[in-house]
Structure 1
Amino acid sequence: MLEPVPESEADIGAYPREVVEQVWQLAQAVPGNDPAVWRKDEFGAWLHRQEYRNRHSEFGWEIADGGYRMRRLGMASLRPMQWQNHVDFLVAVRNQAVVTADGLRNARRLI
């Protein structure tokens, strides 16, 4: 099992590059788009590979962790998620809305 990077105040939430790449591969490839650059999360929101951990980008994404750091499920607990969807996941409040694709952009939609 891969060990998570120890958390420091400056790098909370960081994962080794190998883990980030493996999690990126879990995102949905979209026909007609380069899967090395563009994918979608489980809610259909666009993710851009280079926008990992960038909350200033609508295409920014983070790794949702359902137990990896606690070593319960290892890699099986990690999911790529558009950053706003990830924030909702962290606070466990869906507010009946998710961020999903609207053409080539992302938009918050009621579910």
Structure 2
Amino acid sequence: MKRTKVVVKGIIGKSLSYWRNSDKETLIKGNSIVPFDEKIISAVWAKGQVVGSNNPDNYRKDECGAWIYFSHYSNRESQYGWEIDHITFVDHVASDDLNNLRPLQWQNNACKGSGELACIVTANKTNNGPTKTG
């Protein structure tokens, strides 16, 4: 299938580089299909917590307090990588309605699966690290 390079400019003016299949609907990063379009990615990013004087176009925090970096969307190689999480599942089906979506640091999202949010990563000043227990 033929692919075309796409630079996605979101609502916030930041860019993400992807490939788009010839079907004009599927975004691809590496060998993975990106399940959301650029408008949803930007709208979900806007739901992240703005922190102090940090540029909100680049950095925000997720619901667990972990740093996320816009350009590292769908990047599990980065401590600041983030994914779009479905807040609730109804009858094992996730609604893609924007009200049911939130940005989560990728490890927090992976740990959650289809269950309750378990914050395993949070910010430690400018870096992310494991949450402290006890």
Q: How many residue pairs align between the two structures?
A: 103
Equivalent residue for 2:74? 53
RMSD: 2.6
Largest Rg, 1 or 2: 2
Structure 2 matches for 1:1-111, cutoff 5 A? 10-65=31-86, 66-67=88-89, 70=93, 72=95, 74-90=97-113, 92=115, 98-111=120-133
The one-letter code of the counterpart of 1:105 is N
> Going by fraction, where is helix more abundant, 1 or 2?
1
Provide structure 2 residue ranges, at least 5 long, that are not aligned to the other structure.
1-24
Give the secondary structure class of the aligned counterpart of 2:42.
helix
Q: Render the CA deviation track for 1:30-85: whole Å, top value 9, x for unaligned.
A: 11100000000000000000000000000000000235xx5746111101000000
Query: How does the TM-score come out when normalised to structure 1?
Result: 0.79
Provide structure 1 residue ranges, at least 5 long, that are not aligned to the other structure.
none
Query: How does the TM-score come out when normalised to structure 2?
Result: 0.66
Whether the aligned pair in 1 keeps the contact of 2:66 and 2:105 (CA below 8 Å) is: yes
Q: Greater RCO between the two (CA within 8 Å, min separation 6)?
A: 1
Give the secondary structure class of the aligned counterpart of 1:20.
helix
> Going by fraction, where is strand more abundant, 1 or 2?
2
Identify if the C-alpha distance between structure 1 residues 73 and 53 changes in structure 2 by more than 3 Å, giving closer, same or farther: closer
